């Protein structure tokens, strides 16, 4: 996997070498490298409850044993999300024993009708609301409790042609052949790194991170090199096939991708998106 440089700011005086990566990932990356390794960030995430729902469970919610890579990615994106970058989770450490709890919750069994919404948009009036009492359902769920993780991830730069047409209001330049040079890439990368470090160190986020369901809010903190580093749980087990992420190469029909997860002494190593271990 290609990575971002992890040198000091003075190394930006060097001319970065831009590599065009050809892979099966949903985005093409342009990654500046200056002789260093990937800059990997570490977040410590915890919460009272969590539910990383198994897709094979149709009615009742049943959580995976450990946070999924897509849920871990969402925690980083809650702190810093930009169309120009893509977060890649590389390792998940479980710091608390895996504990379970059965809960019964009230859920809404339907969503607002698309036909009603379209009719209201055309006529300027209509009934868009739902009465919760009419569509309320009680469902049981098997959730995780008192979770505590240490998540390692880094971001990579996307090819501008893959995201600028989708986010024109966030683009300062139009897509053209000269953009492949990306002469301002070093400064742009440092800008994103500084933004994330500043927000994460202060506990700031764009939206509240959550652990699978929005009602299960997550606490987070940025782990610095000098911080105490508790050991993960001493547990090894097979976790089976776990949801990796959704493949949006076809936006009209996104497909899930899975990988065989294994908890080894409290650590789950997450393969790269284009790895043979990740299957669609």
What was the pLDDT predicted at 94? Answer: 97
How far, in Å, CA of 174 to CA of 176, rounded? 6
Sign (positive/negative) of CA torsion 274, 278, 279, 280? negative
Confidence of residue 162 (pLDDT cuts 50, 70, 90): low
In the block, residue with structure tokens 């966030």: 170
Return the higher-pLDDT residue of 231 and 35. 231
What was the pLDDT predicted at 39? Answer: 85
SS3 231: coil
Confidence of residue 108 (pLDDT cuts 50, 70, 90): confident
SS3 199: helix
Convert the pLDDT of each residue in 118-161 to its tens digit: 888 888 887 777 788 888 888 899 999 999 999 999 998 877 66
pLDDT at 176 > cutoff 60: no
Question: Among 29-38, 49-58, 104-113, where is mean pLDDT lowest?
Answer: 29-38
Mean pLDDT value across the chain: 80
Question: Among 64-68, 137-141, 178-182, 239-243, where is mean pLDDT lowest?
Answer: 178-182
What was the pLDDT predicted at 180? Answer: 43
Confidence of residue 170 (pLDDT cuts 50, 70, 90): low
Domain extent listing, the chain: 9-101+147-269
Contact 19, 173 (CB under 8 A): no
What was the pLDDT predicted at 130? Answer: 79
Return the higher-pLDDT residue of 35 and 78. 78
Return the higher-pLDDT residue of 3 and 250. 250
What was the pLDDT predicted at 228? Answer: 83
- What DSSP element (H or E) covers 70? helix 69-79
Convert the pLDDT of each residue in 75-87 to its tens digit: 999 999 988 889 9
Positions of E strands within the chain: 17-20, 30-33, 41-50, 61-62, 85-94, 100-108, 136-157, 210-211, 213-217, 219-222, 237-247, 255-263, 267-269
Confidence of residue 26 (pLDDT cuts 50, 70, 90): very low
How far, in Å, CA of 147 to CA of 183, rounded? 43
pLDDT at 198 > cutoff 70: yes
Whether pTM > 0.85 for this model: the answer is no
What was the pLDDT predicted at 165? Answer: 60
Neighbours of 147 (CB within 10 A): 26
pLDDT at 250 > cutoff 70: yes
Report domain 9-101+147-269's class.
alpha beta
Confidence of residue 252 (pLDDT cuts 50, 70, 90): confident
Neighbours of 156 (CB within 10 A): 21
How far, in Å, CA of 15 to CA of 184, rounded? 11
Number of residues that make up the chain: 280
Confidence of residue 68 (pLDDT cuts 50, 70, 90): very high
How far, in Å, CA of 116 to CA of 112, rounded? 8
What was the pLDDT predicted at 256? Answer: 94
pLDDT at 207 > cutoff 60: yes
What was the pLDDT predicted at 179? Answer: 41
Tell me the pairing of strands 213-217 and 210-211: antiparallel
Return the higher-pLDDT residue of 52 and 178. 52
């Amino acid at each position: 996997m290609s990575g971002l440089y992890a040198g000091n700011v003075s190394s930006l005086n060097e001319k970065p070498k831009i590599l065009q990566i050809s892979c099966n990932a949903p985005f093409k990356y342009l990654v500046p490298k200056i002789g260093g390794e990937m800059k990997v960030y570490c977040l410590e995430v915890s919460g009272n409850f969590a539910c990383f729902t198994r897709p094979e469970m149709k009615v009742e919610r049943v959580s995976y044993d450990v946070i999924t890579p897509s849920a871990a990615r969402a925690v980083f994106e809650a702190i810093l999300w930009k169309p120009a970058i893509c977060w890649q989770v590389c390792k998940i450490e479980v710091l608390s024993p895996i504990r379970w709890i059965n809960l019964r919750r009230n859920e809404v069994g339907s969503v607002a009708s698309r036909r009603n919404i379209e009719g209201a948009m055309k006529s300027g009036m209509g009934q868009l609301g739902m009465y919760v009492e009419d569509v309320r359902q009680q469902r049981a769920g098997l959730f995780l409790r008192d979770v505590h993780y240490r998540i390692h991830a880094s971001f990579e730069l996307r090819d501008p042609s893959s995201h600028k047409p989708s986010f024109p209001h966030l683009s300062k330049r139009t897509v053209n052949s000269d953009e492949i040079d990306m002469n301002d890439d070093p400064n742009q990368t440092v800008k994103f790194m500084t933004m994330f470090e500043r927000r994460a160190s202060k506990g700031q986020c764009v939206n509240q991170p959550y652990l699978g369901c929005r009602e299960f809010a997550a606490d987070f903190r940025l782990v610095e090199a000098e911080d105490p580093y508790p050991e993960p749980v001493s547990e090894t087990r097979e976790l089976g096939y776990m949801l990796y992420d959704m493949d949006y190469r076809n936006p009209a029909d996104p497909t899930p991708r899975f990988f065989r997860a294994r908890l080894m002494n409290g650590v789950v190593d997450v393969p790269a998106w284009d790895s043979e271990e990740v299957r669609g």
